[in-house]
Amino acid sequence: MSQNKNVWVSHPIFPEVIDRLKLYVDVITETSHEGHAPEYLKQRLGACDGALLSLSDLVDETALIDNTRLKVIANMAAGFNNLDLTALARRGIIACTTPGIHNETVADYAWALLLTAARRVNAAERWVRAGQWKGLRYDDWLGADVHEKTLGILGMGRIGQAVARRAQGFCMTVLYNNREPLPPDLEQSLHARYVDKATLLGESDHLVILVPYSAENHHLIGPRELQAMRSHAVLVNIARGGIVDDAALAAALREGRLGAAALDVFEGEPAIHPELLALDNVVLSPHIASAAHEKRLAMALLAADNVIAALGLGPTPGEPPTAMDLSKYAV
């Protein structure tokens, strides 16, 4: 039921999301997951009232030149890193994200990466597939314990807290650093202790990075920070590329100054620093920490609701629409 509004969906997405949008607007969809050239992105944005984008769609001042139609952009993600918020605000264009839905899913994946890196599962699995396993040896594939070790969390937001809750099952000591300490009752419930960044780096056996990306946080973990970490430590980054200096990390791993790493995000992704690709003591995955089916569907449906609401055509975000049951993605 269109009201003469067009919404562009920049990448193929779940049919439920398209059906949801079609109740209110005309929908323009893409058939390829390939990235869009800047001129094509500008053209599409200039011809629509709203857009559902992924983090790979970079919207800057150039993409918005002469755009007088666009009213809202909704990222199907939790962050704004792909959007020039100043340029959008100058034109009165609303920017929306989908925070909160994937907290537990991402925390699960942080633990999957941590355990894989600590116990060398990725390298051992490749070794087996290559036909190298000829029998048991007592000193083969020795990894690092996780239980009863010290877990450091850099960034204690909702996902960091979910990671900390899981650490209780491993009887770990949990340290964290954040812009501000948590309220005492919450800190106590998580069995976590606030420390400064230097202490966090120096005492953690395993470090999970969960801070948002910003200019201030660019290379927050660089050569000096890596040097301060324990030589057996495992570093996990599921936050954003650019927070860790990937070249410095590769050097620390190669030279044995860090035990292992697990990365779901990279500087300049999908490009990956070539030295990381050559190392066996790093786990690499393609930015999939939130990639559980029900959560990705929920994020996309919420993004659709955000666009519909911003165009004044439907319920406000978070209110269950009457047209279909979306209770399974409500938060």
DSSP tag of 221: B
Strand order in the sheet with 173-177: 192-194, 173-177, 150-154, 206-209, 234-237, 260-263, 282-284
The predicted-structure confidence for 98-108, as pLDDT tens digits, reads as follows 988 999 999 99
In the set 44, 119, 206, 287, the catalytic residue is 287
- Picking from 64-68, 255-259, 327-331, which range would have the lowest pLDDT averaged per residue? 327-331
Instruction: Give the whole-angstrom CA distance, residue 321 versus residue 323.
Output: 6
Distance (Å, whole) CA 323 – CA 131:
55
Mean pLDDT score of the chain: 92
Residue from 3, 50, 10 nearest 25 by CA:
3
The pLDDT of residue 3 is above 60: no
Domain borders along the chain are 6-101+292-329, 103-284
* CA distance linking residue 7 with residue 3, whole number of Å: 11
CATH topology of domain 103-284: Rossmann fold (3.40.50)
Q: Are 151 and 193 in contact (CB under 8 A)?
A: no
Task: Assess whether the previous peptide bond of 184 is cis (omega < 30° from 0).
Answer: no
Per the CB < 8 A criterion, the answer to whether 26 and 51 are in contact is: no
Cβ atoms of residues 93 and 73 within 8 Å: yes
Residue 240 catalytic? yes
C-alpha–C-alpha distance, residues 273 and 266, integer Å: 8
pLDDT at 79: 82
Confidence check: pLDDT of 324 > 50? no
What is the pLDDT averaged over residues 173-192? 97
pLDDT band at 316; cut points 50, 70, 90: low
Residue 81 has what pLDDT?
84
Q: Which residue of the set 16, 104, 269, 275 is catalytic?
A: 269
Residue 315 has a pLDDT of: 60
DSSP 232-278: T-EEEE-S-TTSB-HHHHHHHHHTTSS-EEEES--TTTTS--HHHHT
Quick one: average pLDDT of 126-141? 92
C-alpha dihedral sign at 302, 308, 312, 315 = negative
Query: Is 129 among the catalytic positions?
Result: no
Give the span between the Cα atoms of 144 and 205, in whole angstroms. Answer: 9
The pTM is what? Answer: 0.87
d(CA 329, CA 301): 8
pLDDT (mean) for 158-182: 97
Mean pLDDT of 208-231: 96
End-to-end CA distance of the chain: 27
- The C-alpha atoms of residue 12 and residue 43 are separated, in whole angstroms, by 18
pLDDT above 80 for 328: no
Q: Return the amino acid letter for 273.
A: H
Interval 269-296: pLDDT, tens: 999 999 999 999 999 999 999 999 999 9
36 vs 22: CA distance, rounded Å: 23
Per DSSP, 323 falls in state: S
- The CATH code of the domain at 6-101+292-329 is 3.40.50.720
Check 206, 240, 273, 296 and give the catalytic one. 240
Return the closest-CA partner of residue 23 out of 328, 298, 326: 326
